[in-house]
Copies of this chain bind each other. A is one copy, B any other.
Amino acid sequence: MKVPLKLLSFLNEEDNFFIATHINPEGDALGSSLALSMALESIGKQTTLYDKDHVPEFYHYLPGYQKFTHAASLHTTFNLPLILLDCNTLDRAGLEGLNFRYSAVIDHHKTESDFGDIRWVEPEAAATGVMIFYLIKELGIKITREIAINLYSAIAIDTGTFRYSSTTAEVLRVAAELIETGANPAYISQSLYETWSEERFTLLIMALNTLEIRDRVAITFVTREMFKKTGTGPEDTENFSSLPRMMKDIKISAFFREIDDNHWKVSLRSRGDINVARIATLFEGGGHKNAAGYKIKGSLEYVKESLLKTISE
């Protein structure tokens, strides 16, 4: 991976940066941004870290997460150069209309946009965190323990702790170096995966008890009644849809979450070549090939049947 010289000069020459990442930030967005901010500050630069949304509570173990600001006066002309991390349009960062002097994009998402005076986009990179690792090294900045924890977390979340196809020998060697500079793999994995509340776990068991398998589609659901009984909320159902995918004969896992009376949010997960984004689009939703979703009105029976019918067609 080759860091563009233009990007290195830009970071060396400027003294004050506005670093922004995408809405609904996850580990790669947060960890990469924090690591870059810390690295630049360690050589005397100033940075403002921005995310439109708040940092989810289970990411509060990331060193420096409090550095994020969530308010931007978009229409005030300010004279800072902008760095967009883990995204590549102002829209994705919730910054439409922002005034800025100059811009750099650092991202591993494929894009059709050409936003950015400097663009460093590496769709082959497992995580933006891997790119920031090389960038920091090219700048000759020491990777501290805090930077290492942020970068390791970024890489861990985007590779499913080294389970997804983006995992390469290079990724493992970068992770090894981050362990040597202070990242603790067990602590980070525990922070990412083992901080469920008892209530959330109870809700998961309730959801699993609704499992129904038809034509290789696994269907589970959660009702508002279940949220009430367990004292949980919609954010507690994150990843519930992935679990039934453990079964080898399942082609699609569909998870229904009750939003309101006869109103459902449907999450679809698949494996390999089965494209659930196409199915979601037919219901006016969207997403990626193996993870997509939509909203639909109707009784649980009706919404289940309409999905099964669409899949079978």
Contacts and interface: CB of A to CB of B under 8 A. Distances in A.
A198 B161 contact: no
Contacts of A246: 193-194, 196, 201
Number of copies: 2
A208 interface: yes
B163 A197 contact: no
Interface of A: 160-165, 167-170, 172-173, 175-177, 179-180, 185-186, 189-190, 193-198, 201, 204-205, 208-209, 211, 213, 244-249, 271-272
Contacts of A164: 185-186, 189
Given A205-B209, A205-B211, A209-B205, A245 B177 contact: no
A139 to B, nearest CB: 23
Given A201-B246, A246-B201, A167 B194 contact: no
Nearest to A213: B198
B196 A247 contact: yes
Which of A170, A196, A271 has the most chain B CB within a 10 Å cutoff? Answer: A196
A248 B194 contact: yes
Nearest to A244: B201
Nearest to A159: B185
Contacts of A205: 205, 208-209, 211
B163 A169 contact: no
Top 9 nearest A-B pairs by Cβ distance?
A163-B189, A165-B186, A169-B176, A172-B176, A167-B185, A169-B179, A195-B248, A172-B172, A196-B246
A177 to B, nearest CB: 7
